[in-house]
Chains A and B, each alone.
Chain A
Amino acid sequence: MCTSPPEVSLNDEELVARAGAGDLEAYELLVSRHTASAYRTAVLLGAGPDAEDVVQEAFVKGHRKLSRYRGESSFRSWLMAIVANETRNLHRSRSRRDGLALRAETARPDSEIGEDAAVEAVLAGERRATLVRALRLLPVKDREVIVCRFFLDLSEDETVTMLGWPRGTVKSRTSRALAKLRGLLDVAEVHRG
Chain B
Amino acid sequence: MDDLERELRDLSAWLETPDPPDVTARVRVRLAAPVRRRRRWRYLLAAALTAVVVAVLPPGRAALADAAAGLLRFAGITIATTPEPALPTGAASPLPTQRSVAVAEAQRKVRFPVRTPTKLGPPEQVLVADPDDAGACRVVTLLYHGGALRIDAFDGGLDTAFHKQAAGPGTTLVQVNGGFAVWIDAPHPVAYVDRAGTVRVETARLAAATLIWQQAGVSYRIEGDLTRLEAIEIARSLS
The interface of chain A, by Cβ under 8 A from chain B, is: 24, 27-28, 31-32, 35-36, 38-40, 43-44, 49-50, 52-57, 59-60, 63-64, 93-94, 96, 100-103, 127-128, 131-132, 146, 150-153, 178, 181-182, 185
Contact = CB atoms under 8 A, between A and B. Distances in A.
B104 to A, nearest CB: 28
Interface residues of B, number: 34
B24 A102 contact: no
Secondary structure at the B interface, as helix, strand, loop or mixed, is helix
B23 interface: yes
A28 B23 contact: no
A44 B8 CA distance: 13
30 contacts: A24-B31, A35-B20, A36-B20, A38-B20, A39-B17, A40-B20, A43-B18, A44-B15, A49-B175, A52-B23, A53-B228, A55-B20, A55-B21, A55-B23, A56-B26, A56-B27, A56-B30, A56-B229, A60-B31, A63-B27, A63-B31, A101-B16, A127-B7, A128-B14, A150-B12, A151-B11, A151-B15, A152-B12, A178-B4, A181-B4
B50 interface: no
A21 to B, nearest CB: 14
B233 interface: yes
Contacts of A127: 7
B16 A59 contact: no
A152 B11 CA distance: 11
Interface of B: 4-5, 7-9, 11-12, 14-18, 20-24, 26-28, 30-32, 35, 119, 175, 178, 227-229, 232-233, 236-237
A102 B22 CA distance: 23
